[in-house]
Amino acid sequence: MTEYSKKYCMEKIRDNLSTHSEGSLAKNLPIDMLHDFKKHFRGMFRIRYRGGSNRAMGYRRSPYHCIQRFATSFAIYPTDDGRYLELFR
């Protein structure tokens, strides 16, 4: 299992920033980075899982919902307290 540094996670966030018209801060972050992302940025972001339906495994989903088990990527949303702003200074 690859361990991702905080610096690498920050670079991936910067590379995958969402447009200003979207609610997310960054999207399309690789799911294999999730464990280390949660470790480095605990409580700073809300996480939403993204991915398609996996019909081979019998997983059919609404386009508005994906469970972690079948996710291929994730998006992050800012929390109301604004602590994440310190990361980008």
Domain assignment present for 52: yes
Domain assignment present for 34: yes
Domain assignment present for 25: yes
Q: State the pTM of this model.
A: 0.83
Task: Tell me the pairing of strands 73-78 and 45-50.
Answer: antiparallel
Segment-wise mean pLDDT, segments of 10 residues, the chain, 89 residues: 89 93 93 95 92 68 78 90 72
Domain assignment present for 73: yes
* Full domain range(s) for residue 62: 6-88
Domain assignment present for 49: yes
pLDDT of residue 54: 64
pLDDT of residue 77: 94
- Structurally, how many domains does the chain consist of? 1
pLDDT of residue 52: 74
Domain assignment present for 1: no
Domain assignment present for 14: yes
Which residues contact residue 45 at a Cβ distance below 8 angstroms, ignoring those fewer than 6 apart? 25, 76, 77, 78, 79, 84
Domain assignment present for 11: yes
Distance of alpha carbon 31 from alpha carbon 81, whole angstroms:
25
